[in-house]
Chains A and B, each alone.
Chain A
Amino acid sequence: MEYTAPQTTKDAVAILAQAKGSAHVLAGGSDLLVRMKGGFIEPDLVVDIKRIKNLHQIKHNANSIMIGAAVSCAQMGANKRLKKAWPGVVEAANLIGSDQIQGRCTIAGNLCNASPAADSVPALIAAGARVKIAGPKGRRTLAAEKVAVAPGKTCLRKGEIVEYIELPKRVARSADAYLRFIPRTEMDIAVVSAGVNLTLDRKGVITKARVALGAVAPTALLVKAAAKAIIGSSLDEQALEKLALACSAACRPIDDKRGTVEYRTEVAAVLAQRAAKIAYSRAGGK
């Protein structure tokens, strides 16, 4: 196995584009190293992106917030402006693993690991995050929900890496929230999860919404029907009921060691309702 730690995105891309055999990008390594040590993968090349300075930054621009691919989830949790603007995204990122893992793991890695149960992904999808990708043929941008295409599989092409994750500028009277179900209290993996991002008008009526679910399909889902169910409402009982039905209807889960189809379908709706209530209250709704 070869290990390399280039100092620029350009070099990283060039090395990956020319790699023969299996090549893996190393950010925090909290997924990659576990798979290597468990003998599940035997990479020929590991490209560490942590020496690329730009990728360590959280940049607050006029119209967006850029989170570098090497930014650890602990760094996100310590960034007050980010936390204030996107509490749901940060709480999702900060649920991954333990304190020790928080110091290493990244949301870009979480996204590229392409687990349907990834914690930060439904929150990013609900937030309308855009993913900035660099590759041998230049740069492109994708919506967060477009990156994973199947469990463990992304649409990234050979030589491409995620450079930044871009969150929109937070507008007035809007907020997000994320909830997951785990059997334990921490150090666990989502059996089902929900992220909700809402914008209200002055009267507390929802004008914009995005609802995403995790661990209920091969990839995290953006559930447009669920958003539609609550837009125009003040999140009253009836709207919440419609939200629940839309979420359950969108679920295409499997029975596995972590949960049943029945359980995931039902609890996805419960979590979406609860996350919506939290987001609504954070956005100033009463």
Chain B
Amino acid sequence: MTYDTQFTGQTFKSVGTRPLRPDGIDKVTGRARYGADYNLPGQLTGLILRSPHAHARIKKIDTRKAEKLKGVKAVITSTDLPDLTDGDSELFDILDNCMARKKVFYDGHAVAAVAAIDAKTARAALKLIKVDYQVLSHVTDVDEATKPKAPLLHRNCFTEGIEPKPAKASNIASRSEFGHGDVEVGFEQADVVVERNFKTEQTHQGYIEPHACVASFGPDGSAEMWVCTQGHFTFRQQCAALLGMPLSKLRVTSTEIGGGFGGKTHIWAEPVALALSRKANRPVKLVMSREEVFRASGPTSATSIDIKIGVKKDGTITAADAVLRYSNGPYPGVWAMLGAMTSFACYDLKNVRTVGLEVLVNRPKTTAYRAPSAPMAAFAVESMVDELADKIGMDPVAFRIKNAAKEGTKSSYGPVYGPIGIGPTLEAARKHPHMKAKLGKNQGRGMACGFWFNFGGQTCADLNIAVDGSVTLTVGTIDVGGARASLALVAAEELGIDYDDVKAVVGDTASLGHNDMTDGSRGTFSSSMAAIMAARNAIEELKNRAAKMWEIPVKNVIWEDGHAKAKGRGKKYAKLAPLSLADIAAETPNTGGPIAGYSELVADGAGVSFATHICDVEVDPETGRTQVVRYTVIQDAGKAVHPTYVEGQYQGGAAQGIGWALNEEYIYGADGRLQNPGFLDYRIPVCSDLPMIDTQILEIPNPNHPYGVRGVGETSIVPPLAAIANAVSDAVDVRMTHVPMSAPRILKALKTEH
């Protein structure tokens, strides 16, 4: 098996070109099948009953009337999903979130579900389920939840990561700390020290496709599921564990996906659909409404972040300190920890300390959202970096260049960096024409940097060469952003054939070994690595077959430009014309059967990612309305396999960041209920809200990937909050410390500060 992932600096034929994506026509014509487009004979409609309370004890659930309704085939509660988690608290929390047990922890928490012959019957059945709640006091605000007298979500929650363990329970699930040096000493060396609190509101990934699945449980105890997911292998693992079945008996097929952004890395309704199907002995389709998507899936953390940074007049940062409180919903996660790790990752700092506090609140479970936790930390840090540059009279780009991390820098979260792109993105920003463009009335310019770790993970790919010489590449990472096109390019490159001769598909869980999810910007990074290795293994076999056809030793066969070539002296060799992949494929029935290349690996060395964004805004001083009028993304891609989809990732992250910065937020009433579970009042940007987002791809090769590829999917959402805040500050001279910077907040700030 070939497994050498070193970057070799080869020149490319296919990689770096921009062919059409194989899924494009189906998507624009409506032929593509998403989660809700799958149907099975005899299928039932599943619906979930959800808590109207933010926090309540479930005293009793009476399902008898619903069960008796004609057309109802199954009603389930938590008793139909018994606790099989065997002390695995993380898995237990997933189970409890999918179907509440003793308590409901948020408005929208699932308490029961029905499967019926149609939606109308299912809706009627939901109304017949009687849940007896004892309503408890609740807390939804991240700062309120940390107060000593706040309502407690869990009586047995004693903050982890503090020695000795606290004696009193609280809503702070854990504390994490990162850094090096001594910040107190650093602050003493500073000429200017600024300290501020920043707040960001909770946002949703806003994927257009709601969660949807069809589950079919057979009487033999095996099941199949079609689901819109970012990781069907992980969904299989978690669902099988919760339902108590062997992994091999649950076959999961991922459908096309209408956006995920991290929100589809978690299971929600899938175990419920499986449990309903098991009980009803019929296939069950479960599709969330938009309201359910908002109330019960997805959101990222709301945060409250204290930042303190000290600088010398020459622009050297002497110390940086941060305390980051991130809401987690009702279950402990690692969201503040990720914020604490990423906050100062762009800079080379002598003295740095970050503390993350995971705060439990009566809101839906916090889940991953594109570079999870990094945008909020970057908002706080990059806003303050901007302010400090202004205070010492230094250009904000020059100030950042002076303090930027570089190869060999010990990062604020621990590791020492290899070759990285923060310096080059800043240099590119400095030279970019956008930086010099003239600004109009009430307009301002801001810039900010961002960091994301990127991830590799378990990956497995299979490459099959058909008798006509065409190639199918089967991967196990689902395609959210054009990955099939990119991976087909990689296979074509390696085999030396045309892009059009490679069809890349996503295999189901029965067709490949385990693949981690498409998260951490790993889809193209890790699956391209696997595709390269699979192709190289196939090439070994192609050489064997050529040797057989030529009747020469395989050591005398080389692979070059998509052909087997015979290397040897004498008359015999002179006659041997190169054999194309198609020539060899045509003979496979006679030379040993089909040719396949396979690879299984853990894609290490993902290579960290950096970006710098520049943004112009126009603020209406009388209404506080802010319009982004120009936007530029500069980011390191390592190697852009398919530049169009790299640009798409850059633009998409910026677009989501603009929505987050200006308008998107979860609004809870005093009753703890979500006030805006719909796209009318949860405002993601529409097309006309955005300028054309300009992109510049830098290519600083990742030494740990054969082609130098780095993940590109997430970093682009990290800088926008701060870039826009800095632009607003430049336009109307108010420092916005609360995101979203909605019109009422900006107008209020204008009135108070001017």
Contact = CB atoms under 8 A, between A and B. Distances in A.
A125 interface: no
Given A184-B663, A185-B689, A266 B747 contact: yes
B123 A39 contact: yes
B676 interface: yes
Contacts of B676: 257
Given A38-B291, A257-B675, 10 more contacts: A183-B683, A184-B685, A185-B686, A186-B686, A191-B743, A257-B676, A260-B744, A263-B744, A270-B622, A270-B623
Interface in A262-286: 262-263, 266-267, 270-271
A191 B663 CA distance: 13
A117 to B, nearest CB: 11
Interface of A: 38-39, 181, 183-189, 191, 256-260, 262-263, 266-267, 270-271
6 A-B pairs closest in CB distance: A263-B744, A185-B688, A270-B622, A257-B675, A257-B667, A183-B663
Given A39-B123, A262-B748, A270-B623, A187 B742 contact: no
A266 B688 CA distance: 26
Contacts of B21: none
B662 interface: yes
Contact of A184 (B622, B675, B686, B744): B686
Contacts of B622: 267, 270
A183 B685 CA distance: 9
Interface in B589-632: 622-625, 627
B681 interface: yes
B574 interface: no
Contact of B743 (A38, A189, A256, A263): A263
Nearest to B678: A38
A183 B625 contact: yes
B167 interface: no
A263 B745 CA distance: 9
Contacts of A256: 675
- The listed residue with most B CB atoms (<10 A of its CB), out of A181, A189, A258, A260, is A258
Where chain B touches its partner, the secondary structure class is loop
Given A257-B675, A259-B744, A184 B123 contact: no
Contact of A183 (B662, B688, B748): B662
Interface in B733-754: 742-744, 747-748
B569 to A, nearest CB: 73
A171 to B, nearest CB: 31
Contacts of A189: 680-681
Contacts of A187: 686
8 contacts: A181-B623, A183-B663, A184-B689, A188-B680, A189-B681, A256-B675, A257-B675, A267-B622
Interface in B251-309: 291
A258 B663 CA distance: 10
A188 B680 CA distance: 6
A267 B747 CA distance: 10
A263 B123 contact: no
Contacts of A39: 123
A186 B686 CA distance: 8
A261 to B, nearest CB: 10
Contacts, number: 52
A184 B627 CA distance: 9
Contacts of A267: 622-623, 743, 747
Interface size class of B (residues with CB under 8 A): 20 to 34
Contacts of A270: 622-623
A124 B176 CA distance: 60
Interface in B678-699: 680-681, 683, 685-686, 688-689
A132 B622 CA distance: 39
A57 B146 CA distance: 62
Contacts of B742: 183
A271 B743 CA distance: 14
A191 to B, nearest CB: 8
Interface in B335-370: none
Interface in B366-416: none
Contacts of A183: 625, 662-663, 683, 742-743
Given A257-B667, A262-B748, A186 B743 contact: no
A256 B676 CA distance: 10
B176 to A, nearest CB: 34
Interface string B481-503: 00000000000000000000000
Interface string B625-654: 101000000000000000000000000000
Nearest to B627: A185
A234 to B, nearest CB: 22
A34 B748 CA distance: 34
Contacts of B662: 183
Interface string B457-487: 0000000000000000000000000000000
Contacts of A191: 743
A258 B685 contact: no
A186 B689 CA distance: 8
A270 B291 CA distance: 34
Contacts of B685: 184
Given A39-B123, A186-B688, A270-B622, A258 B743 contact: no
Nearest to B682: A257
Contacts of B686: 184-187
Nearest to A191: B743
Nearest to B684: A184
- The listed residue with most B CB atoms (<10 A of its CB), out of A184, A186, A266, is A184
Contacts of B624: 263
Given A39-B123, A183-B663, A257-B675, A263 B683 contact: no
Contact of B625 (A38, A181, A257, A262): A181
A271 B623 CA distance: 9
Interface in B706-729: none
A52 to B, nearest CB: 30
A115 B622 CA distance: 26
A277 to B, nearest CB: 13
B693 to A, nearest CB: 16
A183 B623 CA distance: 10
A183 to B, nearest CB: 5
A235 to B, nearest CB: 17
Contacts of A185: 627, 686, 688-689
Nearest to A271: B623
Contacts of B688: 184-186
Given A181-B623, A181-B625, A263-B743, A188 B748 contact: no
Nearest to B690: A185
Contacts of A186: 686, 688
A116 to B, nearest CB: 15
Contacts of B627: 185
- The listed residue with most A CB atoms (<10 A of its CB), out of B622, B662, B675, B748, is B622
Nearest to A263: B744
B683 A188 contact: yes
A237 to B, nearest CB: 15
Contacts of B667: 257
A188 B623 CA distance: 16
Contacts of B748: 262-263
Contacts of B683: 183-184, 188
A141 to B, nearest CB: 33
A29 to B, nearest CB: 17
Contacts of B747: 263, 266-267
B423 to A, nearest CB: 37
Contacts of A188: 680, 683
A263 to B, nearest CB: 4
Nearest to A42: B123
Contacts of B625: 181, 183
A181 B747 CA distance: 13
Contacts of B291: 38
A267 to B, nearest CB: 5
Nearest to B676: A257
A96 B527 CA distance: 46
Contact of A181 (B675, B680, B681, B743): B743
